Structure 1
């Protein structure tokens, strides 16, 4: 197994959870990360193996908001659960055990194929970079290098092969460019993520009458897709047939700055997702060290007939 190093040259400890001194804790659990949610979903699904798994095994689009919101808990837990983070990581890995098959081109796929599983993690890492760069005031090159080192430490918790993981930030940038130019595909699973025409109202707007949301959905859907296109690497943008102008780029920067300015008015704790906030609360003494982990509320659970399916996170709440 290759030895990955911290920025100071010391070895990254095997299976050591990240803590509040990490940059990942600062950036990953922030609600602003939701603004790259469509980007993350589409980038993941463009991977041939991952896209095939979604097309043939997932019913994500039947309960789009619920699936998104409940997924934040275990995925966030791998970062914020402290000495319980590895157990959370193993649970997340276990949800993928039976996602396998042969795609429509005759290619075998398995969600636990090392290259496929790492690609999903790479999008979480790059999503953190994009959130920091676009909506949290920007990141320096040194901060990106530090986040890269931390993403390796985070990934080790899954117990997966480290073979696909680049050894350096520079090697990761080459890996990412290769994936965007030569591996990712325009497929149905990706187009389904980008199709927001049937998107239901988010939970915090569930009180809106249906006809009102049907009108509001039009600019919301277009806005989210536009925001997503602005975060794509140019090869991905070209692959999907999107056009991006200098005017778009300037407006995208202004929107990002406005989001960052607005979040300065939000109390610090409430900028974080509940699982992340609970991690901070344990570390700052606001909650007991071994307080029960925070789980998704009942409203986000899978449909009743799928709650015992081992590929779903479905806590007893």
Structure 2
């Protein structure tokens, strides 16, 4: 799919940030979303422009956990930063200015092409839907429509063209299906995301002995790939050559219910990413509206020699 140069951002009144009354606030910053990180990475990278950008401009596969956890801060901030959310969105957009080139098929790409940038945004929207619907309490059609409308407000924060945004939830479903069937590709960036056989220990398990992690890593990788495949649209599974049976679907639904009920035992203060938690606490009056944003800890920063690169979120911490 050819990629155009980025269009001029739409001008107008400052967009209205999302707030605690929204379903997006309730589910997007939830730590259960980390379960869907391979799903989101694969769905994004299957887009020709996104996949090429990752292959040519990213060190994601050398620093998976660090990149994932630091990216959650600015991306989450577009949802949870309240009065400063539009500024956070402009910062996120700015990280993508230099990500452009020509892929191995001779197709030009630019990360700020509205169609490309919207595809990434649509995967975050659908991640929110899946967290709530497959690993949470479930969603009615009315709630899915509400989340769709909220994702449009979320998109407006970036100041990007509204041209690629479907008109309603039904049109979005047609868009999602068309992308899965006609646009997404099997490529190296996608396969690399799905290959977690040798992934490093996640930060939460840093005290686990290395030998124990090596024993667990293989089964964990197979299980992660299995449920990730189950969450793909059927056309994506077919493109990537995976099978999915009725029995697999029943098992995935049982796993989702287990996660949902186990999550009720987690204290509310521990359910959300720090940037999301800061938003909830600000709305509860525990922090001033102008308090500094919560930033990633130093352990997640890029390599020292890369911290001033324009494509990196790299706060002075």
TM-score (norm 1): 0.95
1:129-140 matched pairs, under 5 angstroms: 129-140=129-140
What per-residue deviation string (whole Å, max 9, x for no partner) do you get for residues 23-53 of structure 1?
1100111111111111000000000000000
Rounded to whole Å, the distance in 1 between the matches of 2:239 and 2:212 is 35
Rounded to whole Å, the distance in 1 between the matches of 2:134 and 2:88 is 29
Question: Which residue in 1 is equivalent to 2:10?
Answer: none
1:65-76 matched pairs, under 5 angstroms: 65-76=65-76
Q: What is the deviation of 1:223?
A: 1.0
1:94-173 matched pairs, under 5 angstroms: 94-173=94-173
What per-residue deviation string (whole Å, max 9, x for no partner) do you get for residues 88-130 of structure 1?
0000000000000000000000000010000000000011001
RMSD of equivalent CA atoms: 1.1
Report if aligned partners of 2:40, 2:124 keep a CA contact under 8 Å in 1: yes
Q: What is the deviation of 1:305?
A: 0.9
SS of the residue corresponding to residue 109 of structure 1 reads strand
Q: What is the deviation of 1:65?
A: 0.3
Task: Check 1:73–1:198 CA distance in 2 against 1; reply closer, same or farther (3 A cut).
Answer: same
Rounded to whole Å, the distance in 1 between the matches of 2:138 and 2:228 is 17
Question: Which residue in 1 is equivalent to 2:6?
Answer: none
Rounded to whole Å, the distance in 2 between the matches of 1:280 and 1:83 is 13
Rounded to whole Å, the distance in 1 between the matches of 2:213 and 2:302 is 23
Report if aligned partners of 2:275, 2:294 keep a CA contact under 8 Å in 1: yes
Report if aligned partners of 1:14, 1:156 keep a CA contact under 8 Å in 2: no
Question: Which residue in 2 is equivalent to 1:306?
Answer: 306
- Tell me whether 1:63 sits opposite 2:67 in the alignment: no
Q: What is the deviation of 1:14?
A: 5.5
Rounded to whole Å, the distance in 2 between the matches of 1:216 and 1:99 is 36
Report if aligned partners of 2:83, 2:289 keep a CA contact under 8 Å in 1: no
Question: Which residue in 2 is equivalent to 1:258?
Answer: 258
Rounded to whole Å, the distance in 1 between the matches of 2:268 and 2:207 is 27
Q: Which runs of 5+ in 2 are unaligned?
A: 1-12
Question: Which residue in 2 is equivalent to 1:193?
Answer: 193
Question: Which residue in 1 is equivalent to 2:84?
Answer: 84
Question: Which residue in 1 is equivalent to 2:246?
Answer: 246
Question: Which residue in 2 is equivalent to 1:293?
Answer: 293
Report if aligned partners of 1:66, 1:301 keep a CA contact under 8 Å in 2: yes
SS of the residue corresponding to residue 101 of structure 1 reads strand
Report if aligned partners of 1:14, 1:153 keep a CA contact under 8 Å in 2: no
Q: What is the deviation of 1:208?
A: 2.2
Rounded to whole Å, the distance in 1 between the matches of 2:79 and 2:296 is 16
Q: Which runs of 5+ in 1 are unaligned?
A: 1-12
Rounded to whole Å, the distance in 1 between the matches of 2:14 and 2:23 is 19
- Tell me whether 1:229 sits opposite 2:214 in the alignment: no
Rounded to whole Å, the distance in 2 between the matches of 1:245 and 1:162 is 38
Rounded to whole Å, the distance in 1 between the matches of 2:156 and 2:289 is 23
Rounded to whole Å, the distance in 2 between the matches of 1:62 and 1:251 is 32
Q: Which runs of 4+ in 1 moved over 3 A?
A: none
What per-residue deviation string (whole Å, max 9, x for no partner) do you get for residues 181-211 of structure 1?
0000000000000000110000111122222
- Report which stretch shifted further, 233-242 or 285-294: 285-294
TM-score (norm 2): 0.95
Report if aligned partners of 1:18, 1:82 keep a CA contact under 8 Å in 2: yes
Rounded to whole Å, the distance in 2 between the matches of 1:211 and 1:269 is 32
SS of the residue corresponding to residue 213 of structure 1 reads helix
- Report which stretch shifted further, 100-109 or 215-224: 215-224
- Report which stretch shifted further, 282-291 or 49-58: 282-291
What per-residue deviation string (whole Å, max 9, x for no partner) do you get for residues 140-161 of structure 1?
1000000000000010111111
